[in-house]
Structure 1
Amino acid sequence: MSDQIIGDGEPALARDTAGRRYTATLDGVVVGLIDYDERPGTVVFLHTETDPAYQGRGLAGKLTTYALDDVRARSLSLVPVCSYTQHFLVEHSQYADLLAEPSS
């Protein structure tokens, strides 16, 4: 992540399939990301990170909302290994239906 301060605009949000991550980009610089692993029918959110220079601006929440909406649009289930995602789901119960059933 970058230490430089750049624009305060809205981030460009995207799924980087090759990099297996969702990204939040401002002025061409990645300032937030969610690393994921994809398995048949399921996405595992592994780690969420925001550049320290951009923390406190809601970027992680915007990126997580985008990523969860993408999981839903692709009719996949979610395994939230990432602690940020786990906490986000507690606060945003409208995404509870995405949770994968526990393995038996």
Structure 2
Amino acid sequence: MALPALLTVSFAAPPPELPVATFFKQASLAQLAFSPDGKRIACLVPYEHRMNLAVIDLENRQKNLLTNFTDNDVGSLRWAGNDRLIFTKDGEFLKKRIPASAARKEPQASQRVSA
């Protein structure tokens, strides 16, 4: 009795092949890191063909671009409290204070971190 049921099974078509370019596209989000209080996520996002620093406020679900570098990518990031980030660019450590208002449109200047 199970044999007729096996004969009626149809096989799905194989999934379409992905273009090679798909594997080399720039990520839309990278290096996600939660703030110590868990209210924000810092991440790298593409801006002007470079990876820049952004923060996503989880309460109001808004993304705030913190840097607008066009000459080089932000390399890595790390939280230094709930309202400060330390990140690298061109081998330098920089710090950024997170603005209280997520509605800020223009990124402010970054400060160097002294060793």
Q: TM-score, normalised by structure 2?
A: 0.32
Higher Rg of the two aligned structures: 2
